[in-house]
Amino acid sequence: MSVIRVAVVEDDARLRRAFVGTLESASDCRCVGAFATGQEAVHGVPPLDPDVVIMDVNLPDSTGMEYIQALSAELPRSQILIVTVYQDPETTFQALAAGAHGYLVKPVMPDRLLEAIREVREGGVPMTRTIARKVIQAFRDRESPDDGEKPPGRLPVKASPAPKHGGQEDATLAPREQQVLELLVEGLFYKEIAKKLGISISTVGTYVKRIYEKLHCTNRWEVVARSRRGARDGGGG
């Protein structure tokens, strides 16, 4: 098995050292660089060409979203794994819309971090159980009668973008997707879900990617994120 090359972007020095130590303790991972700010990361990470970038969304020089976008554009083959304390739906979906490939909520145990790195490297979309719960709630909210009302304290949303793959059926979870999501809520790893359902790990990753894709196509939080980015891009001089 090839070694997974990982870059770390984390402003907390103690936690940054812990991440590096976890990576160096694994036979299949290697830390190629560690950075404390987004500015350091956008300049220092691309030349390293890592397989995976572990990144917080709360950095001292920004909320991190613009740096996720920048690194995603510079490193199209790298996987960006968010590890943060933030677990509100808007931050989660903004990060995914910006280019993140997975989302873990701190604290993250070393074995879970390594498992998530392997999952995201293999094309999966790892997330912690709290995020999985919010994903389920996002679907429930969208299907509820009052889903058209704007959420308190957020920007008004006029309409959701159309699904990429066709009609309204894309806005709901297929039975197998629902199963996978519920097992994620229980805290199971991809390999445990695969064993329980009798499918491959890569298939589990495919189901999770479909779940996120449906949210990306229709959720109100991405519309908010896009509208804010558009306002920033169009309002500068």
pLDDT at 144: 60
pLDDT digits (tens, 9 = 90+) for 94-145: 888 788 888 999 999 999 999 999 989 988 888 888 888 877 777 677 656 4
Q: Global pTM?
A: 0.70
At 189 the pLDDT is: 81
Q: What is the pLDDT of residues 174-198, one digit of tens each?
A: 889 888 888 888 878 888 888 999 9
In the chain, domain spans: 4-128, 132-230
The class that CATH gives domain 132-230 is mainly alpha
Q: Identify the pLDDT of residue 218.
A: 43
Q: What are residue 127's DSSP bridge partners?
A: 103
- The matching CATH number, chosen from 3.40.50.2300, 3.30.565.10, 3.90.1150.10, 3.30.460.10, for 4-128 is 3.40.50.2300
Count, residues in the chain? 237
Average pLDDT in the chain: 79
